[in-house]
Amino acid sequence: MPMYEYRCESCENQFELRQKFSDPPASECPECGGQVTKLISSAAFALKGGGWHSEGYGSTAKSAPPAACPAASGGGCAGCPSAAAP
């Protein structure tokens, strides 16, 4: 469930509520009962490290073509589909 941040317009109390997406927004301050407004805050997570974005997503570099199968030139390879053919 997402966490939402609110601020009371009367007493300036700032608080967080964990609510379902389907729950209505909070309307009153738990401290004084005053009217509250929902705040816009930064995301609670960050994507760090390598991963899909830095390793190819949006990259203009093309991947290398697959290597030729050694079985096609008379050699053998254990997992190659060409090696399993009679």
Domain ranges within the chain, ordered by starting residue: 3-39
pTM: 0.49
Which pLDDT tens digits describe the chain residue by residue (86 residues)? 788 999 999 999 999 999 998 999 999 999 999 999 999 877 767 777 666 666 666 655 555 556 666 655 666 666 666 555 55
Centroid of chain to Cα 68: 37
pLDDT computed for residue 22 by the predictor: 93
Which residue, 9, 5, 32, 29, is CA-closest to 18?
A: 5
